[in-house]
Each structure stands twice: as C-alpha cells, then as structure tokens.
Amino acid sequence: MPGYAETVAMSGVIAGEYARANTNLYDLGCSLGAVTLAMRHGVKAEHCKIIGIDNSAAMIEQAGHYIALDDGKVDVELLCADITVQNIENASVVALNYVLQFIAKDQRLNLLSQIADGLNVGGALILSEKICFDDDEQPLQDKLHLDFKRANGYSELEIAQKRSAIENVLIPETESAHIARLKQAGFGQVIRWYQCFNFVSYLAIK
C-alpha cells in the first residue's frame, strides 16, 4: 500500500503529541500491531495504556508475539473484539487506519460517534482511508496507483486478483463525505496531513 510506512511512523509521532498522562490510546483494527508499536514508542506522557483491538484471533495472537519482543515501556492490552461495539473510554488518541472502509456505510457514523464520545476534549483521531474522487481526477489516480503496483513487482494477474478480492468489500468515499461525517460525529477540526494517490490520512480533533 503506497504510503503505509509513513502512516505508521507518523501515527507514533501524532500519538506522542496528543497523548496525555493517565489516559488510554486505542488502535482499532490493530492487525499485527504495527501502529500499536509506533504509538508505544511515540508516547511520552506517563501512565498511559495502549489498547489494540482486532476481530481476528490470529492477528491478535501474532501481534502479541511482536509486543512481547518489543522493549517499549507503555502498557499494551490486546483484545479480540468487534470495534463497532467496543467501548472507548478516557482516550487521548485513537487510531483507525484503513479500517473504516471495510465497515458497512450505515455503521460508520455510529463508530465515529462512539470514538468521539470516548475521547477527552482535545483528543485526536488518526483516520487513514482509501478515498475516491468525484471528478475527472479519479482515472488519473487509479492509473498512478496501478503504475505504483507494477513498479513494485506486482504482476497483472496479481493486480487483477487483488481488485477482484476487494470489489464490493472495500467501499471508498469522497473526502467531503469523510469530513462531513467526522464533523457530524463530534469532531471540531479535521485536517488532511498525508496523501499518496488516493490513500489519505486525517487528523480529527475533538
């Protein structure tokens, strides 16, 4: 995924900026724990806890191995759970990287509202998504993304298989739709801090 490494690294930097002492940080849809670990090493505030949540038991198990090998000092808890029904409490930072796009559209606002409700005032949501464009920019962005895949060794078959696998599963939306929903959920400020082709990252502040 173009820009993924930068998104992970900056999630740690942003966590360091917005984490507050005696609060929780959440990595929702934590997968193998890359963002969890980046946050762990970025946090400077005392007595914080990072909670990584994923609905795949295999992912949580593997993430646990990586966490155990890591020398970070911040407490980490990993949960195998559905993020759409998980309570967010006393949070200063929440990461939701490339996850919302796999949540049903009619559940996205509820999830973001749940996150906003659980964030303390001044808390930050890191939201990374694949977006679509509502003008003639989309074909160019698609072409550049395909060129990126080919340049990184993907065969035409692999590209076709990937497209088939995510069709009707990953449902991107426009930037304006994302920002409007974030505002509706309770976030006062939203900025786009990173973009690589149609992959973007936002910082939403409560």
29 annotated to a ligand binding site: yes
pLDDT in tens, 77-125: 999 999 999 999 999 999 999 999 989 999 999 999 999 999 999 999 9
**Contact (Cβ atoms closer than 8 angstroms) between residue 126 and residue 14:** yes
30 annotated to a ligand binding site: yes
27 annotated to a ligand binding site: no
Q: What is the pLDDT of residue 133?
A: 77
97 annotated to a ligand binding site: yes
- DSSP labels, 159-176: HHHHHHHHTTTS--B-HH
82 annotated to a ligand binding site: yes
54 annotated to a ligand binding site: yes
Residues recorded for the chain: 206
Close Cβ partners of 193 (under 8 Å, ≥ 6 residues apart): 10, 201, 202, 203
31 annotated to a ligand binding site: yes
194 annotated to a ligand binding site: no
98 annotated to a ligand binding site: no
Q: What is the signed CA dihedral for 171, 172, 174, 178, rounded to 10 degrees?
A: 90
pLDDT in tens, 136-193: 766 666 666 566 556 666 566 554 555 554 555 567 899 999 999 999 999 999 999 9
Q: How far apart are CA 137 and CA 168, in angstroms?
A: 21
